Structure 1
């Protein structure tokens, strides 16, 4: 089984509601998409193509290469089918394999049992051919196999990523309640920011939004921050393919971007962490950091995006302090951000109403399991809310 140059079905997974932005990235790389769905994208490609995808995508989580699709009504049928696959051509007898799964089968009470049957089939097959069993365990740092099993239909994949791609590797200091890097990239894409005008991130926390904006503006890909992927541990891997792709990443970095990126926070500690993360990502010269109240954020003239990711607490209950903060965010956008587009990312629609401005778009995201919105506001010079204007957004949901 030669997977590096043999096309097969590829599933690129992502967090819910990131699929439209992931599809855009994949198309820009020149791949044809067969199907998009809520948590990913399907296409046809080789494992060598997967190397390119792993290194380039900001919004992806895992990149899975399909080995076989089959019917299995119980664990024994699963084991018997997997035992027929030539695992000895994919995994070294002295290697290490881990198994992940998405299982919904009436005969399985825990996915761990399904994982065990997969490991047993792989190890037994390799031992029968090579005389030794590979090690196995939960770590995702070497060869990874993924089982998708719904009712009686099963599909087995090579996970070419291993550790999730959603963490981009530059954030050595996460800070408090950081936004996942893949989500932050999706938020930047959702603003349709042009990568040339101003990008302002008040209340920046650990700096993820500003850093992702800088990475996108300079065409820096996540593959620049990572040197281990699961595809490296599949038999037949040619490291020259990886290093050639990585050289392309370095060559395509745009060091002459005109983008102006500003990140501020009231906390000196948060700004210090954000600055360290930006340095690790290689974009610290592009970002102007300031310790100040968000209302004192310096704003250059001209167009651009102003993106807030404030705290949003619990969805229910009284938040007197947060209500005041959201009202001040609305005042700041209205009074100081004329000519720009304002954005507030929040999981609390009641607090969002305190902003007191009408949204031009409400873009759906999830932050973990929390249903969130990126609220867009077009700020016009001279606009004012009249005395009788309802500050709430009746359509916010």
Structure 2
């Protein structure tokens, strides 16, 4: 039984815990920005393949006390790195910390890298090459006030990189955050869903994958495939089982629109690349003008934040119009807006039934839920 740590966007920890439980993980425990869990290698493979919410899955190697950098070097030197990966693999070291008293995390990174290379030299007479951009193996160092933990990354590229989004517009949402937001709306396949400010189509792409029961990692490779303990037969069976579950692509009650032609083109291209072009209807249209495609459903959008003064003024003029359009055309729908602009509910003029704090990277945001009750909000 191995110990792992799954990293995720802040605010998605409880959802990730439930997701990991569903794929067989045990001893689950949330912490700030992720979930600790245990399981065999098959659980690790499934977590990488199946998780819609995790950013990466780290394999826990060791935790030990430290006072100075030399203690961290000795802890790393004691690990049997040649048992984990071949000397021919490229590697890098990534260091993060909370309340660490040491002056330089870069120096800690250097000392751990030296320890790994020294271990290989002692055992083989040669050392692995360092590659900071796209290495075969990533060693993660996590420091608290007096404890050092060493992990091996089993994911490689971040798990939100599903492998098929080719086109993007300004500031696209990461796929795992979009998947978490979609989950928070309570949307289920078969329920009408629309993103009327679809950008590059991230919400739509995630929804189609859920509707088709398609594992998000089917189009990509993982770092665990390059580790010495990799079980190719077990992985082939897990992957084949996931592929066998996928439903055939066809028209779904999922809709997208945007008033920016570039965004519509990007969304259509991404759906095409993923093989989902027939699943979603995407059109060039303004949210203020479109009609609801069904009597009830989920409206989910990530409107612009307005980081500059001029943009904020434009949004302040737009929000009341949005409120009027929602009341006039979207009765019976549950509307969700993910934004860093906390003025939205007040300026829209509609009271949210729920405000969920989330983070888009370092940016604090809210997911506002506005229930448009049928019959009571229509303009007379």
Contact 1:197–1:259 (CA<8 Å) still a contact in 2?
Answer: no
Residues 146-295 of structure 1 aligned to structure 2 (within 5 Å)? 146-227=140-221, 229-255=222-248, 259-295=252-288
Cα distance in 2 for residues equivalent to 1:10 and 1:272: 40
Change (3 A) 1:386 1:255: closer
* Cα contact 2:99–2:145 (8 A) shared by 1: yes
CA distance in 1, matches of 2:220, 2:326: 38
Distance in 2 (alpha carbons) for counterparts of 1:32 and 1:381:
43
- Contact 1:206/1:273 (<8 A) preserved: yes
Alpha-carbon contact 1:161-1:230 (below 8 Å) kept: yes
Say yes or no: does 1:69 pair with 2:63: yes
Match of 1:12 among 6, 9, 13: 6
1:1-397 → structure 2 map (5 Å cutoff): 7-104=1-98, 108-227=102-221, 229-255=222-248, 259-314=252-307, 319-384=312-377
Determine if contact 1:218/1:257 at 8 Å carries over to the other structure.
Answer: no
C-alpha RMSD of the superposition: 2.2
C-alpha displacement of 1:26? 1.3
Q: Deviations over 1:32-55 (max 9, x none)?
A: 342112311111123332111001
For normalisation by structure 2, the TM-score amounts to 0.94
Per-residue Cα deviation, 1:56-107 (whole angstroms, up to 9, x for no partner)? 1111011111111111211111111221211111121222111112135766
TM-score w.r.t. the length of structure 1 is 0.90
Q: Is the 8 A contact 1:278 1:284 kept in 2?
A: yes
Q: Which moved more, 1:104-113 or 1:341-350?
A: 104-113
Measured after TM superposition, the shift of residue 288 of structure 1 is: 0.2
Q: 1:35 to 1:317 in 2, by over 3 A?
A: farther
Distance 1:124 1:141 in 2: 19
State the distance in 2 between where 1:315 and 1:32 align.
46
Q: CA deviation at 1:121?
A: 0.8
Is the contact made by 2:178 and 2:206 (CA closer than 8 Å) also made in structure 1? Answer: yes
Question: Is contact 1:59-1:183 (8 Å) kept?
Answer: yes
Distance between the aligned counterparts of 1:130 and 1:370, measured in 2? 46
Other structure's SS at 2:367 match: strand
Unaligned runs of 5+ in 1: 1-6, 388-397
Cα gap change, 1:338 to 1:106, in 2 (>3 Å): closer
| Number of equivalent positions | 380
Name the SS for the 2:278 alignment partner: helix
User: Cα distance, 1:386 vs. partner?
Assistant: 10
Query: In the aligned structure 1, how far is the partner of 2:369 from the partner of 2:100?
Result: 44
Residues 318, 225 of structure 1: alpha-carbon distance in 2 compared, 3 angstrom cutoff: closer
Gaps spanning 5+ residues in structure 2: where? Answer: none
Counterpart contact for 1:124–1:133, Cα < 8 Å: yes
